[in-house]
Amino acid sequence: MDIREKHGFAYDAHTETDMLKSVGTAIAVTEVRNEVVAPALEALHQDMQAIGDTKVDAVELSEAKSSYAGRFILNLERQSGRADELTRIEVLNLPSDFLDTFMTHVRSVEPDDIQKVSKQFWTPSDATVVVVGDASKIQKSLESIGTFQVIKPQQ
């Protein structure tokens, strides 16, 4: 909401996660105009820091749980969604009752849990930042934030 609504940097700003057997990724994604790349990155950094510093609002968390539960259940109604979840159970060696108990675990998450995990895993200082764009138009503004390496795509 901060990057999209408050600052108007992007139409879309969202996160993506991927759970693997021994690691996982949490990715913040946004597409912004060249002239706001640096302030958008700074806002993202502040938002990431705030997640660990501030407790999630109980009402916001409740709404997020409900939304997640709805998407999870709808996903299981499709054969491909159920197949994806069964594959996840096998690959990640999850308990056989995972599909039956997963939402109970999600619903048990409290604001303190989110803050604790965020401080541990969602820290801006440990983030790898990847910016895709025309380096000639954005590199100078990025230098005000820190050191960046320009990597040209291989042909």
pLDDT value at residue 13: 87
Query: What is the pLDDT, as a whole number, of residue 152?
Result: 85
**Residue 22's pLDDT is what?**
81
Tokens linked to 22: 């021994």
How much is the mean pLDDT over the chain? Answer: 89
17, 25 contact by CB (below 8 A):
yes
Within a 10 A sphere around the Cβ of 134, how many other Cβ atoms?
Answer: 8
Cross-strand partners of 28: 15
Domain ranges of the chain: 1-54+123-155, 57-122
The structure tokens 């604001």 sit at 111
pLDDT at 2: 82
Q: Is 97 exposed, middle or buried (0-12, 13-18, 19+ CB in 10 A)?
A: exposed
Report residue 24 as tokens.
Answer: 């996982």
Query: Do the beta carbons of residue 40 and residue 32 sit within 8 Å?
Result: yes
Q: Which pair of tokens denotes residue 20?
A: 């693997």
Q: Which tens digit of pLDDT belongs to each residue from 72-88?
A: 999 999 999 999 999 99
pLDDT band at residue 15 under the 50/70/90 scheme: confident
Q: Give the pLDDT confidence of 26-42 residue by residue, as tens digits.
A: 888 889 999 999 999 99
Rounded to two decimals, the pTM is: 0.74
Cβ-contact 44, 28 below 8 angstroms: yes
Looking at residue 83, its pLDDT comes to 96
